[in-house]
C-alpha cells in the first residue's frame, strides 16, 4: 500500500531503521532488494558535518537505487542542526531529512545532551524542528522515544510540538531513554501518538517477525513499521514483512544456504565502498549475525575473527555452504 511523507511517495509500509554502525550503503542496498519501501541511513553528527569531518561526510554516500532514502542527523542546538541539514540536502540530496530525538546512548543523550535528551524540553523540540523545516526543501521527520524515563513519558506532547513545527512524519520507539533497548516496547505509546497527530506515524520496536509487524499495525493504527535489530543477519525478514502486510502471504524462513549466499552478496557490496581491511572487519560482525542459529556454525564463528583478507572470508563462507549441501 502506497503512502506519503510530505511529497515523497513510498511503495509500502516497511521502513529500515537508522542503526548506527550498520546502515551504510551496502547494507541498505541489501534491504532495498528485500523490498523495503523506505530506507533510513545511520545518524550523523550535526557538528561533525559543520566542522567538515571527513568520516561524517563519507557517511552521506548513497546510490540512486536506494531511494527513497532518509538521512538522520543528531545534535543539540538549532543553529548546528540547520547548518547540517543544509549540508546534507546539498551534498547527499536525500528524499527526507530526519532529526534524531531518540538515541539513548550515554555519549549522545548525556554527554552531548542530544538524541533523547531533547525530549526533556518540548519548546526546544519545537524550535529545532521549526528551524530545520524552514531551512530545507525536503520533508523533515523526527524519531522519538516515549520519554526520558518512566517518570517523564511525554511522547504525545512531543509529537504535537513536532507536528505544529511543520514536520511531515514522526517515528516512535516506545521505550524510554532509561530503558535503552531492554524490556519491552510499549506499543500503546505508538497508538497514543497516532491518535494525537494527523501526520503519518511510523511504529518501531520489537518487530522480529512478519506477524509482529502486522500486529503493530493492527493494534496501534500506525501508518508504517520500522524494523532495525531484527534485520541483523536476517535481511530476509524485510521480504517476509512486506509479503505479509501487503499481500497477506506468510513466507517460509530463508534456507541456511540462501542466507549465507546473501552474506557473500553483502560482503561484495561492502567491498565496493570500503577498503579491504575495513570491509573484512565489518563483515566479520555481520557474518556472525548471519550464522546465528545455523547448524554447525560454532567453529565457523571462531574462525571468522582470525580472517584478514577477502579471499579468506569468501573461502570460509563458501566452504561452510558446501558443508551445508551435504
The catalytic site residues sit at 103
d(CA 95, CA 71): 8
Please tell me whether residue 206 adopts helix, strand or coil conformation: coil
Cell of 179: 530503558
Tally of CB atoms within 10 A around 320 = 23
Task: Give the residue carrying C-alpha cell 571468522.
Answer: 304
Q: Give CA–CA dist 253/247, Å, rounded.
A: 17
**Environment class of 232 (CB within 10 Å of its CB; exposed 0-12, middle 13-18, buried 19+):** middle
CB-CB neighbours of 302 under 10 Å: 9
Residue 102 to residue 140: CA distance in whole angstroms: 15
What H or E segment, with its residue span, contains residue 79? helix 78-91
| Interatomic CA distance for residues 292 and 303, integer angstroms | 14
Cα–Cα distance measured from residue 158 to residue 147, given in angstroms and rounded to the nearest whole number: 9
Residues 6 or more apart in contact with residue 77 via CB below 8 angstroms = 128
Amino acid at each position: 500500500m502506497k503512502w506519503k511523507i510530505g511529497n515523497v511517495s513510498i511503495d509500502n509500509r516497511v521502513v529500515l531503521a537508522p542503526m548506527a554502525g550498520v546502515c551504510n550503503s551496502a547494507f541498505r542496498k541489501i534491504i532495498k532488494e528485500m523490498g523495503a519501501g523506505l530506507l533510513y541511513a545511520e545518524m550523523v553528527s550535526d557538528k561533525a558535518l559543520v566542522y567538515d569531518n571527513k568520516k561524517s561526510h563519507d557517511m552521506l554516500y548513497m546510490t540512486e537505487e536506494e531511494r527513497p532514502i532518509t538521512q538522520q542527523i543528531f545534535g543539540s542546538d538549532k543553529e548546528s542542526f540547520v547548518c547540517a541539514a543544509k549540508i546534507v540536502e546539498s551534498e547527499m540530496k536525500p528524499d527526507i531529512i530526519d532529526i534524531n530525538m531518540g538515541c539513548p546512548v550515554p555519549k549522545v543523550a548525556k554527554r552531548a545532551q542530544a538524541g533523547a535528551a531533547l525530549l526533556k524540553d518540548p519548546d526546544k523540540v519545537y524550535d529545532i524542528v521549526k528551524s530545520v523545516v524552514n531551512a530545507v526543501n525536503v520533508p523533515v521527520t523526527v524519531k522519538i522515544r516515549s520519554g526520558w524515563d518512566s517518570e517523564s513519558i511525554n511522547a504525545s506532547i512531543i509529537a504535537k510540538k513536532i507536528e505544529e513545527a511543520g514536520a511531515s512524519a514522526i517515528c516512535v520507539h516506545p521505550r524510554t531513554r532509561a530503558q535503552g533497548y531492554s524490556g519491552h516496547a510499549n506499543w500503546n505509546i505508538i497508538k497514543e501518538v497516532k491518535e494525537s497527530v494527523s501526520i503519518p506515524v511510523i511504529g518501531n520496536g520489537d518487530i522480529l517477525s512478519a506477524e509482529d509487524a502486522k500486529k503493530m499495525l493492527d493494534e496501534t493504527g500506525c501508518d508504517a513499521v520500522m524494523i532495525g535489530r531484527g534485520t541483523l543477519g536476517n535481511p530476509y525478514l524485510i521480504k517476509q514483512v512486506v509479503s505479509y502486510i501487503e499481500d497477506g502471504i506468510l513466507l517460509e524462513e530463508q534456507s541456511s544456504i540462501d542466507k549465507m549466499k546473501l552474506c557473500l552478496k553483502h560482503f561484495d557490496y561492502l567491498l565496493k565502498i570500503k577498503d579491504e581491511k575495513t570491509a573484512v572487519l565489518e563483515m566479520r560482525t555481520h557474518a556472525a549475525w548471519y550464522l546465528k542459529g545455523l547448524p554447525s556454525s560454532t567453529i565457523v564463528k571462531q574462525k571468522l575473527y582470525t580472517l584478514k583478507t577477502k579471499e579468506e572470508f569468501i573461502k570460509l563462507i563458501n566452504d561452510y555452504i558446501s558443508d551445508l549441501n551435504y
